Structure 1
């Protein structure tokens, strides 16, 4: 599942790509992790806007004192938990990203393998968003997942639902059957670029942790 992606372009560049008229000023960007802030494109009153939101819908655990866990990936839109949201266009969004990563390698020494879309310095992940009132997280979002294509299969069996620019409007404004079709289709293998690195998976904000020896 996707637990790390990047937004390495500024709000103005993101706004130009997604047709947003008035980009917001934001210091959100770089590497985005579950429970942190990322930029999201949604529609309001027939116009696209960019907002900073928390990545992950809060899911309460069984422990009475535990903090909610951010649910950052959506496996099946047809499940009751998601269907009521996905069926309403006002709760759909586009997640701008410049790449996403999966962990690869032995336990304790996993490294980051990055995926990009060829010839697209920025692209979109299909998402849903809502206001969280119970836990006071504010606006939250989560990305929709699907079965991987052959380009990603060597690393993981799932991948984000990636959208072509000409599909943005269909995701934001189409019927529930339209959005289900996106989750059931296979993104072209030829458009995926894979870059294996020696960066440890748990690297955060420029700090690299040595692998744990087991």
Structure 2
């Protein structure tokens, strides 16, 4: 890597058993809860995708299973664990965050490696998911101002 280059950020953890993650996932001290009010996925045709929001019914805040570490480049960093989607999310995306209910927090934070992997292999209950489709564009077009006016 070039001396002035930064490593590429990682958004999500697809598989806790892969070499990149297993060392952190085996040690409960590197597990965390990511507080979430909702999460979004892109829905629609390429070039016209809109933002679809997902939340949990009757829960204004919930937790996404994550791993964290200290990065020489950025300090403390974290990434969320993903899993196959449930049927509620399937019409929009084939993956979803590993969502945790309050009675599961302690198991995620202090359980065995096998407990952690079990969360990634389970199906989150469909009936707890709330969906809000919007017309908001997934990607906002950049507006460029020139002497001739504004252009998208």
The alpha carbon displacement at 1:68 in A equals: 2.1
Aligned to 1:103: 42
Matched, 1:188 2:119: no
Higher relative contact order (CA 8 A, sep 6+): 2
Structure 2 distance, partners of 1:65, 1:106, is 38
Question: How many residues are treated as equivalent by the alignment?
Answer: 143
Alignment of 1:114-125 (within 5 A): 114-125=53-64
Matched, 1:159 2:96: yes
Larger Rg: 2
Q: What is the aligned-residue RMSD (CA, Å)?
A: 1.7
Matched, 1:71 2:10: yes
Task: State the Cα deviation string for residues 86-116 of structure 1 (Å, max 9, x = none).
Answer: 0001100000010000001111121100000
> Using a 3 Å threshold, how does the CA distance of structure 1 residues 192 and 209 change in structure 2: closer, same or farther?
farther
Does the 8 A contact of 1:102 with 1:113 survive in 2? yes
Task: State the Cα deviation string for residues 63-94 of structure 1 (Å, max 9, x = none).
Answer: 88653221010000011110110000110000
Name the TM-score, length of structure 1 as normaliser: 0.64
Q: Choose which of 69, 76, 88 in structure 2 pairs with 1:130.
A: 69
Structure 1 distance, partners of 2:7, 2:26, is 25
Name the TM-score, length of structure 2 as normaliser: 0.89
Alignment of 1:1-214 (within 5 A): 66-133=5-72, 136-203=73-140
Gaps of 5+ in 1: 1-59
Any idea what SS the aligned residue of 1:170 has? Answer: helix
> Which deviates further from its counterpart, 105-114 or 118-127?
105-114
Which portions of structure 1, spanning 4 or more consecutive aligned residues, are displaced by more than 3 angstroms? 63-67
Structure 1 distance, partners of 2:3, 2:42, is 31
Does the 8 A contact of 1:149 with 1:187 survive in 2? yes
